[in-house]
Chain A
Amino acid sequence: MKLPYAVDEVLGGLRLRLRHTGRAVRRTAAGPALVRGVTAGFAVVAMLLALPRPVAASPWAWGVVVVLAAAVGLAPRSPVVTVVVLLIAVAWLAATLAYGEEPTLWRLIAVAATLYPVHTGAALAAVLPYDAVVAAGVLRRWAVQTAAVLGAGVAFAVGGVLLAARVGGWSALVAPIVGLLAVAALAVMLAWLVRRT
């Protein structure tokens, strides 16, 4: 049976797209694939840690988590990475506010330690061509930088908790002060960047 011209055109375009995708998959190199895979893995762990327990236990949530993580791995240059990072933060808020789960220190550190590598991993994957030959030093340097920043972040968190315990409240006083400081630092940094650009 002869197909209409428009359908034939669409099918031809799809076949071409599939051929290009197959070629890209065959050419994908180990280095970029590793970076994208690790980033997607961190995204899965971060989402499962941040989601409320009842939600995380349902199978459909696992499906959504895997799809979102795969989107991060497959399209690290797209805005989907930002959306996923913000979704993880929102999930954390939902778990602690709506579901009333206790924001324990270990869980907070675990979410922070998996959320930040999603950001840095996507940043690295975004600049690596999928078929590139990547020197091991690049991956090593990236891992060390991420670990150093995370270490400083954890130290910041533990120091903050200890400070909060000393002043008597969990976060009622410290959070606004530190948050305002962070916003001010952010504004200063942006102004500095705009001036130097």
Chain B
Amino acid sequence: MTNPFADRRTWVPTRAMGRAVMVTAFLAVVAVVLGRYDLVVLAAPFALGAAWGLRTRPSRLPELTLTSTEDPVVEGNEIAARVMVTNTDACAYDVVVVRAAPSRWVRLRHSDRPYVGELPAGAATAVDLAGPALRWGEHWVGPAQAFAVAGGGLLISTPTFTDVAPIKVFPAVDDFRADDAMPHAAGLVGVHRSRRPGEGGELAGIRAFAPGDRLRRIDWRTTLRAQHPYVAQTLSDRDAEVALVLDVVHEAGRSGGIHGAASALDTTVRAATAIAQHYLHRGDRVSLIEYSYEIRRLRAGSGRRHFHAVLEWILQVRPSDGVETPPPYLFDGHHLPTRGLVVVLTPLLNEHSAEMVARLARSGRMVVAIDTLDASAAKPYQRSAWGPLAHRLWWMDRQNVIGQLREVGVPVAEWAGTGSLDHVLRDVTQLAAAPRVGVR
């Protein structure tokens, strides 16, 4: 941030300075005119005070630095910030006023009030602020501002500003676990028990030895009993790709931060983080796509480093909050894997979002929709007699959309943390395993 006072960084007289001069002059002149010594006595403290205060005059402005927690934190955790003021001048500052404003979701204790202290020559003082970050996102502390007063209140400095100190706050990861198998596995390595026989650790059954079987697969106990070679058949272990589509065309609900109500965007971001963490921890590849007026994408990747990339990427998520919807050609599905699991996190507030989900399902992808809207928190408009009726119609229309999505094979689940996806994954897995009727 540029300092608006940069072109006139100096010390200026206060109104008290003008008052001291005016009162002294008035009393001295009247004393001379009327020959009144008592008026000189009244004027004496003003003149002495001004002379004492201005015996040394400051020439430098206070130096101000603002530092804050550099490492990213998780929402709900504490953030620390320090504002340091240094007096590099040869004379003391009678008063130094310091203030630093944090962003809305950083609740630094006592940061809503300025701090006032004295500062001897060559000394420095620090104001330490600490408090929790209440919501995920890219937040900041500052800019900090300081001004000083010297000469017994007769001189005041122009304000000094610092830049803002950015703070990254990652979303708190809800406890999430999905125990059911992935519907489609992609590679030849991974941790998922696939539906196909192959090299792996999961026992699928015992069968007679056939040419090509490895000798180490022979099950000797069965072979001795049957007097014929038998082998243990296993299911192959494979990894999978999970694509998370974050529908942020519209924000809904009012966010109360980590300790309050969650908006649709909050639920979307926290759920996406939890799902990504879960599958990345299991060795899968995860990609993310922001479905908004502009399409933003994070390529598929795996591992811990990719999880950090996911966290950084997710901090940039913004609702478009407009009537515009992404043009269909921007999101025609070519960004998404054809044989992976597509998880769409959507509040289903826009008919184009529902169409997008249905289009993905019709293209043969395994799609799961997570409803991120807390519909129970939506209250009817009470100032009109038609409010409850309109709310009821909206509710029925939404249930109808959810039903239509289920008809095209998209299970819709509300986000509820642990096990949210288990029953829908089971459905999708069964659908994936079933024979398909397709057009050749």
Chains A and B bind each other: yes
Interface set of B (CB-CB < 8 Å, partner A): 13-16, 18-32, 34-52, 54, 57, 94-95, 97, 99, 110, 112-118, 149, 152-154, 156
Mark contacts of A131-155 with chain B using CB atoms, 8 A cut-off: 1 yes-contact digit, 0 otherwise: 1111101100110011011101100
Expressed in whole angstroms, the minimum distance between the Cβ of A34 and any Cβ of chain B is 12
The answer to whether B23 and A85 have CB atoms under 8 Å apart is yes
List 28 A-B residue pairs with CB atoms under 8 Å apart, sorted by A's residue number.
A27-B113, A82-B23, A85-B19, A89-B39, A115-B42, A116-B46, A119-B46, A123-B15, A124-B95, A127-B95, A128-B116, A131-B113, A132-B116, A133-B116, A138-B117, A141-B94, A149-B45, A149-B49, A171-B38, A175-B39, A175-B40, A179-B28, A182-B47, A183-B29, A186-B47, A189-B51, A193-B13, A193-B54
Within 8 A of B (CB), among A55-86: 77, 79, 81-82, 85-86
- Beta-carbon nearest neighbor of A109 in chain B: B41
The answer to whether B41 and A127 have CB atoms under 8 Å apart is no
Residues of B within 8 A of A45 (CB): none
The answer to whether B97 and A183 have CB atoms under 8 Å apart is no
A38 within 8 A of B: no
Given known contacts A135-B118, A142-B94, A171-B37, A116 and B154 CB-to-CB distance under 8 angstroms: no
Given known contacts A129-B97, A132-B115, A186 and B21 CB-to-CB distance under 8 angstroms: yes
Residues of A within 8 A of B14 (CB): 123, 126-127
The answer to whether A119 and B116 have CB atoms under 8 Å apart is no
Expressed in whole angstroms, the minimum distance between the Cβ of A35 and any Cβ of chain B is 10
The answer to whether B40 and A160 have CB atoms under 8 Å apart is yes
**Docked complex Cα distance between A86 and B42 (Å):** 11
Residues of B within 8 A of A161 (CB): 37
**Docked complex Cα distance between A26 and B32 (Å):** 49
The answer to whether B48 and A152 have CB atoms under 8 Å apart is yes
- Beta-carbon nearest neighbor of A122 in chain B: B16
- Beta-carbon nearest neighbor of B59 in chain A: A196
**Docked complex Cα distance between A52 and B332 (Å):** 91
The answer to whether B19 and A138 have CB atoms under 8 Å apart is no
The answer to whether A127 and B43 have CB atoms under 8 Å apart is no
**Set B24, B32, B94: member contacting A138, Cβ < 8 A:** B94
Given known contacts A79-B15, A85-B19, A178-B37, A183 and B28 CB-to-CB distance under 8 angstroms: yes
The answer to whether B19 and A81 have CB atoms under 8 Å apart is yes
**Set B31, B32, B54, B113: member contacting A132, Cβ < 8 A:** B113
Expressed in whole angstroms, the minimum distance between the Cβ of A188 and any Cβ of chain B is 10
- Which 4 A/B pairs are nearest by Cβ-Cβ distance? A171-B37, A123-B153, A123-B16, A153-B45
Interface set of A (CB-CB < 8 Å, partner B): 27, 29, 31, 77, 79, 81-82, 85-86, 89, 92-93, 96-97, 103, 108-109, 111-112, 115-116, 119-120, 122-124, 126-129, 131-135, 137-138, 141-142, 145-146, 148-150, 152-153, 156-157, 160-161, 164, 170-172, 174-176, 178-180, 182-183, 185-186, 189-190, 193, 196
**Set A116, A129, A176: member contacting B32, Cβ < 8 A:** A176
Residues of B within 8 A of A127 (CB): 14, 95, 97, 149, 153, 156
Residues of A within 8 A of B97 (CB): 127-129, 132
The answer to whether A138 and B116 have CB atoms under 8 Å apart is yes
**Docked complex Cα distance between A52 and B345 (Å):** 82
Given known contacts A82-B23, A182-B24, A133 and B114 CB-to-CB distance under 8 angstroms: yes
A103-B38, A123-B153, A124-B95 given; 15 more Cβ-contact pairs under 8 Å: A82-B22, A119-B16, A126-B15, A135-B116, A141-B94, A152-B44, A156-B41, A156-B48, A161-B37, A175-B31, A179-B40, A182-B28, A182-B31, A182-B44, A183-B25
Residues of B within 8 A of A152 (CB): 44-45, 48
- Beta-carbon nearest neighbor of A193 in chain B: B54
Residues of A within 8 A of B42 (CB): 89, 92, 108, 111-112, 115
**Docked complex Cα distance between A164 and B23 (Å):** 24
**Docked complex Cα distance between A110 and B295 (Å):** 77
Considering residues A82, A141, A146, A149, which has the most beta carbons from chain B within 10 angstroms of its beta carbon? Answer: A149
The answer to whether A108 and B38 have CB atoms under 8 Å apart is yes
Considering residues A112, A123, A183, which has the most beta carbons from chain B within 10 angstroms of its beta carbon? Answer: A123
Expressed in whole angstroms, the minimum distance between the Cβ of A103 and any Cβ of chain B is 5
Residues of A within 8 A of B51 (CB): 185, 189
The answer to whether B110 and A133 have CB atoms under 8 Å apart is yes
Considering residues B24, B50, B95, which has the most beta carbons from chain A within 10 angstroms of its beta carbon? Answer: B95
